[in-house]
Amino acid sequence: MILLVLTPAYSFASLNKPVQILPYTDEQYTTLLDSPVWTRADTDTLYALAREFDSRWLVVHDRWPDDLPARPVEDLKSRFYATQKVLLRALPKDDIAAAGISGEVPARSLMIDYNAELDKTRKRQVEALLARPSSIAEEEAALVERHNDLQMARSISSRQTQCFLVVIQITTTMIIIIISDDHPFHQS
């Protein structure tokens, strides 16, 4: 006996959108995508892994076959986005729908202008931030706390000043009313 358990749909399942990847033909590869650094087998493998793992680049990098040249994640992303952009630009507007790209605007992943050097710099900066001594991190936390305290003091001071101005306005208005000749309490 086989027991089939039906589970309710994942609450965010409607947001799961597959990555739209433009395929290429042999002719397109030779005319548009041929590269001295990337072989056809490398590019085919990259596309297959990107499709299988929805362009989750760390997973694609992890699953990259050992028989192909080892490449950093940034190179994989750079090659993928560059080839997708070339393929998208080569498509006539009428063929975009036929290629499986839905909507008026092509998929976001196809329009990314990936900068590998910027990504490498960002990763180095994160590594340096995480490698700093704990004393520096504690000092920064103390500075942030002091800054927040000063902001709170300024906020309280600002509210007190506003309240004081309201009291002055009310007092001034009352004095003007009492001094005016029209007021019934005026003494001459």
Distance of alpha carbon 174 from alpha carbon 180, whole angstroms:
10
Q: Report the mean per-residue pLDDT for the chain.
A: 81
Closest CA to 38 of 66, 67, 74, 80: 80
pLDDT above 90 covers what percent of the chain?
38
For range 73-84, the mean pLDDT: 94
Tell whether the model's pLDDT for residue 117 goes beyond 60. Answer: yes
**R_g of the chain computed on alpha carbons:** 32
pLDDT category at 88 given cuts 50, 70, 90 is confident
Q: List pLDDT tens digits, range 54-65.
A: 889 999 999 999
pLDDT category at 104 given cuts 50, 70, 90 is very low
Distance of alpha carbon 154 from alpha carbon 142, whole angstroms:
18
Tell whether the model's pLDDT for residue 120 goes beyond 90. Answer: yes
For range 8-13, the mean pLDDT: 74
Distance of alpha carbon 17 from alpha carbon 121, whole angstroms:
30
Architecture of the domain whose range is 18-131: Orthogonal Bundle (1.10)
pLDDT at 170: 76
Closest CA to 75 of 38, 21, 113, 31: 38
Tell whether the model's pLDDT for residue 118 goes beyond 50. Answer: yes
Q: Which residues contact 77 (CB under 8 A, 6 or more apart)?
A: 57, 114, 116, 119
